[in-house]
Amino acid sequence: MPIITYREALRSAMDEEMARDENVILLGEEVGQYDGAYKVSQGLLDKYGPKRVIDTPITEEGFTGVGIGAAMAGLRPIVEWMTFNFSIMALDQVINNAAKMRYMSGGQLKVPIVFRGPNGPAEYLAAQHSQALQTLFVHIPGLKVVAPATPYDAKGLLKSAIRDDNPVVFLEGELMYPWKGEVPEEEYLIPIGKADIKREGNDVTIITYSKPLLVVEQAAKELEKQGIQAEIVDLRSLRPIDEETIYNSVKKTNRCVIVDESWPMVSVASHVGWMVSRYCFDYLDAPVELVTSEDVPMPYNHKLELAVQPSVEKIFNAVKKVMYI
């Protein structure tokens, strides 16, 4: 299979869906003439024109609302936020309109829209631009939330998100755009709501998603040197969440560590930890351990920035704890 970058996989997904369905449009800051802040939409303006690839003002609440209205009118908009840190400005539109309209209309109105862009810490961006905000969206009924960690998953899930009749929040990562991976040339879809076993193991289950997958895989290699075989569960989808895959893995390994780059309180990690503790209680040989970002705003200093986030050392120590080593 061809090896392409994460950004190329996203672009390919949008290109294929825009070619397949003329109702698919892309709008956001600098998505057109500038080819996207991270060059994800490169070439799409030339191919599909300014009526379908639309540069917007720097007004997240405004163009997000325009996208929601367009979705209710029959289009399938992809709204690109330059960063999810700016999505905070649009939360009223997302939570009170996109998420609720199908329910409040008794199913008469569909809102087939995708909100996408980079989420989570990058580098040297300080407290206001290095936030992992997935918990805000996962909390809301009516939204679907996905967070793929590989180019293969990114393409398959974005195509599924664009075709979905519900609003989908699609979490990427600034540092993930150059990541490379195998992506088939033929069309494929990945269903929303299905996790993936990225690595088989029998000693401990490590559950993660999005950018932390890389550091989890590095930790798994270090653990293997100690004779510990870690099974890595990549959630991919945060709402709906694949409970069956999680429980089956924990029942096999009897131990669980959850790695999440968001803050620990009321997070995806804390919810999954509750799920495992509740429904796999009789199978656990140790309490569930969480490895999250520290419960502080992101520092600007790079050494402190790295110290705040999940690391190989933190994951290694968490696994040792549940293994009673």
Check if the beta carbon of residue 156 is closer than 8 Å to that of residue 192.
no
**Active-site hit among 16, 30, 129, 139:** 129
What count of other Cβ atoms lies within 10 Å of the Cβ of residue 17? 21
The 3-state DSSP class for residue 60 equals helix
**Active-site hit among 29, 60, 80, 261:** 60
Cα–Cα distances (Å) from 299 to 131, 264, 309, in that order, read 11, 17, 11
Is 129 known to be catalytic? yes
What count of other Cβ atoms lies within 10 Å of the Cβ of residue 197? 14
- CA neighbor of 128 nearest in space, from 304, 299, 264: 299
Distance CA 50, CA 36 (A): 14
Distance CA 237, CA 207 (A): 12
Provide the Cα torsion 291, 295, 299, 303; round to 10°: -30
Element (H, E) at 280: none
The residue assigned the tokens 């930890």 is: 273
The residue assigned the tokens 């997000």 is: 64
Check if the beta carbon of residue 206 is closer than 8 Å to that of residue 233.
yes
Cα–Cα distances (Å) from 173 to 80, 87, 95, 123, in that order, read 13, 14, 22, 11
Half-sphere exposure of 189 (CA within 13 A, CB side): 11
Is 302 known to be catalytic? no
Distance CA 17, CA 30 (A): 20
φ and ψ of 171, to 5 deg? -95, 125
Which one-letter amino acid corresponds to residue 23? N
Catalytic residues: 60, 129
